[in-house]
Amino acid sequence: MFKKNKSDDTVLFIDASNEFKSGKNQNQLTEDNINKVIETYKARESVDKYAYLASFDEIAENDFNLNIPRYVDTFEEEAEIDLDAVRTERLELKAELDALEAEMAGYLKELGYGA
């Protein structure tokens, strides 16, 4: 929203791109989503990963680029994967599978199937 006659030269950027209810043909803003945007707008304060109150100088430093991701960082760092734990689990599952296959082979032999 652009507002004439503001008392300062700041710009509030709100990234509400994750604030919606998924729909079949199109997504919808819920009452809560709308209220969050309105309350953030009224407060005119930065909110981590959601809104950023930029000064005129910051916007000038960015060559007056008003692209929201330039100001609102929504990046979520992915959890680090413990490769040793994954390898251990994989080996345990492989051993369990080998045991089940041996058991299945025994049943099949009892039933007269296989070599």
CB 71 within 8 A of CB 52: yes
Mean confidence (pLDDT) of the chain: 91
pLDDT in tens, 54-109: 999 999 999 999 999 999 988 777 888 999 999 999 999 999 999 999 999 999 99
- Sorting pLDDT into bands at 50, 70 and 90, what band is 24? confident
Q: What are 110's two structure tokens?
A: 């009892």
Q: What are 24's two structure tokens?
A: 């079949």
Has residue 3 got a pLDDT over 80?
no
Q: What is the DSSP string of 31-55?
A: HHHHHHHHHHHHHT--BTTTEEEE-
Beta pairing partners, 51:
14, 47
* 5-30 burial: b if 16+ Cβ within 10 Å, else e: eeeeeebbbbbbeebeeeeeeeeeee
Question: Which pLDDT value is given to residue 84?
Answer: 94
Domain boundaries, the chain: 11-70, 78-115
Has residue 115 got a pLDDT over 80?
no
